[in-house]
Structure 1
Amino acid sequence: MPVTIPQGLSSQGGRGPDWARWRDRLPRLCADLLAEWRLRATEEPLHGRCSLLVPVTDADGAPRALKIGFDGDEESRHEALALQHWGGRGAVRLVRADPRRRALLLDWLPGPDLADAWDVEACEVVGDLHRQLHIPALPQLASVASYVERWLRDLEELGRDLPVPRRYVEQALALGPDLVADDSGSVVVHGDLHYANVLADASGQWRAIDPKPMAGDPHYEPAPMLWNRMDELSGPLAVGSVREGLRRRFHALVDAAGLDEARARDWVVVRTVLNAGWSVQDARRAGRRLTADEQEWITRCVAITKAVQD
């Protein structure tokens, strides 16, 4: 069946000329890979923020996933390398790769993901995956420090334009350099492990997907499990307050992953304040005010920063 690029991916052409060029090349790139790797598309393609995923079968009829990533996404540049290094232990198995074209052939994971799991149970699953994934890092991987040092400089340049309590901004700017200077161990860091980036394989085993691999401190990891699925912490089925829910998740994840609580907390503060800053930077680059969604996101970041410390 011919592959149609999803509208959700096509509509992002306004993200810049590099993105638009990649998007224009994508249909031909996809067709070439299907032919060269003797794959047959079986379902309509899916997409992430920076990638196309085509459900396929290989020449032997085995279900696979063909993933083609945006070649301008720096953080996923070494995804194939990390997946190969993990060798299917805790992560989806890599079958074949063409790093030049950002193409991966992966085992098909039927799911589900962790979206409907009780949050504490999900945190325990993710914590166990962190234990499996945090193996000695490869020298080719960029370091957590190399990213965070640059992000902190950008944060400092925002000055008082960031609608976050100044004490939290100053705290992040003070903690960040100490954290990257005192690296507690260089392991492969997934970088974006949360509910939607964990899928069950055909046997029901949980596997991580979509890494943004780096080399660095394992305590960098917990934040995405806090800033995803926050709506349910204030919904009709919520147990306790938002603060209590965030702290419950944080402690469950830290315990399951075997992390030091204080160091993990400091990284959550740094990462959430940085995330708030990126919303302001995006608005600046586009020459506009913050959108309602961006303002709500910054509010979430402040709530997380506050909750893990109170």
Structure 2
Amino acid sequence: MDINAAADLWHLEEIAPVADTPGRLVYRARTPDGRSVVAKLLKPRGMEELAGMDYLAWRHGHGAVSLIARRDNACLLEDAGLLTLEDFRTSHGEAAATEVFAKVLAELHAPSPHSPPPGLTPLARHFRGLTERAAPAHPDHACDLVWAAALARDLLASQKPVIPLHGDLHHENIISKEGTIWRAIDPHGLIGDPAYDAANFFGNPLGRPDITCDTDRILAIALVTAQVIGCSESKILQYAACHAALSASWSIDDPVSEEDVKDAQDRLDFLKVVRDLLSSEVTC
């Protein structure tokens, strides 16, 4: 479905483009009653996000934007605002942003009276790009990547509990209208260990290794998120390290831009920092 078909289906007006990524097209529009909404259309490369639509339908607006309607590759969403958590972090600081993240994370992980949708992606499948590699993605970081792959296999073999996950929580995917009510957007729709939902938060803001590799910040985020999830800080850091390795592998295998190459390096640098935090002695 293209935007013209979506406009006809949902009677959209005042349509304006918001984003054009390799995986999706996003538009802001209005319904006939004047309500602001967001239309998201998945491209072939982004069809794995169909599981994210299932996840939004399951959350029913609790912690995440409400799914108003969906058809094929398209969905119509609540317009939750323009203020990102990164905007908030810039103006209010790390501690305040982490506090908001923790509240959203808790709301997303709150029990639901509904059964999890069957289309969610198991965390073990999500991690195949790291755990089933024939060789490390980056020869200069082979030792760290082999370590992360082995750690990921151990974590995936002992997931407890197993719950639906957003799967892509970070500063740009948490938004608000006025800095009061915050909602998560663009879920991947995974299912697995809740500790993984904190993993991507560590790696943002993108392109700022001076921030993301700061050990005090890393430990502070681990402390807060471990309390929300109810696990050890070590487990939070382990999933964060494994996600960094997975994300780097994706960027190296299928780079879209020079920014992807730079992001891979930043993720690998973060991986090394966290590995050192977890163990004072690094061996291959």
Question: Which interval holds the TM-score relative to the shorter structure?
Answer: 0.7 to 0.9
Q: Is the 8 A contact 1:83 1:91 kept in 2?
A: yes
Which residue among 91, 94, 117 is the counterpart of 1:119?
A: 94
Distance 1:210 1:160 in 2: 27
The aligned residue for residue 25 of structure 2 is 52
Tell whether 2:13 aligns with 1:32. no
Give, as a single letter, the amino acid of the residue that structure 2 aligns with 1:120.
A
The separation in 1 between residues aligned to 2:65 and 2:261, in whole angstroms, is 36
Aligned to 2:124: 145
Q: Tell me which residue corresponds to 2:234.
A: 262
User: 1: distance between equivalents of 2:180 and 2:235?
Assistant: 32
Aligned pair partner of 1:68 in 34, 41, 46: 41
Unaligned runs of 5+ in 1: 1-25
Please tell me whether Structure 1 or Structure 2 has the larger radius of gyration of its CA atoms: 1
Partner Cα separation in structure 1 for residue 95 and residue 164 of structure 2:
24
Relative to 1, partners in 2 of residues 1:132 and 1:277: Cα closer, same or farther, differing over 3 Å?
same
Post-superposition Cα deviations, 1:240-291, rounded to whole Å, max 9, x if no partner, equal x8222222222223224433322222212222222233343236x99xxx95
Q: Which amino acid aligns with 1:53?
A: V
1:165 Cα deviation after fit: 5.6
Question: Which residue number corresponds to residue 276 of structure 2?
Answer: 306
* 1:97 equivalent in structure 2: 70
The alpha-carbon deviation at position 196 of structure 1 amounts to: 0.6
Map Cα deviations across residues 80-99 of structure 1 (whole Å, 9 max, x no partner). Answer: 2111110000000111111x
Shift of residue 202, structure 1, vs aligned partner: 6.3
RMSD: 3.0
> Which residue number corresponds to residue 131 of structure 1?
106
Q: Distance in 1 between matches of 2:14 and 2:61?
A: 23
CA distance in 2, matches of 1:71, 1:160: 25
| Structure 1 residue corresponding to 2:157, chosen from 176, 181, 193 | 181
Show structure 1 runs of 4+ deviating over 6 A: none
* Equivalent in the alignment of 1:43: 16
Identify if the C-alpha distance between structure 1 residues 260 and 138 changes in structure 2 by more than 3 Å, giving closer, same or farther.
farther
SS in 1 for 2:216: helix
SS across alignment from 1:151: helix
CA displacement at 1:195 relative to structure 2: 0.6
Give, in whole Å, the separation in 1 of the partners of 2:117 and 2:263: 37
- Under a length normalisation based on structure 1, what TM-score does the superposition of the two structures give? 0.76
- Amino acid aligned to 1:63: S
Structure 2 residue matching 1:52: 3-state secondary structure: strand
Aligned partner letter, 1:261: E
TM-score by length of 2: 0.83
Q: Which letter does structure 2 place at the counterpart of 1:212?
A: H
Quote the residue 2:181 is aligned against.
205
- Partner amino acid for 1:145? A
Structure 2: gaps of 5 or more residues: none
1:233-272 correspondence runs (5 A): 234=210, 242-272=214-244
SS of the residue aligned with 1:234? helix
**Amino acid paired to 1:169:** L
Q: CA shift at 1:214, angstroms?
A: 0.9
Q: Deviations over 1:136-190 (max 9, x none)?
A: 6323212111222453112xx1248532161x33322322222112120221111
Asked if 1:273 corresponds to 2:249, the answer is no
Question: What CA distance in whole angstroms lies between the structure 2 residues aligned with 1:35 and 1:230?
Answer: 37
Helix, strand or coil at the partner of 2:254: helix
Determine helix, strand or coil for the equivalent of 1:59.
coil
Q: Secondary structure at the match of 2:155?
A: helix
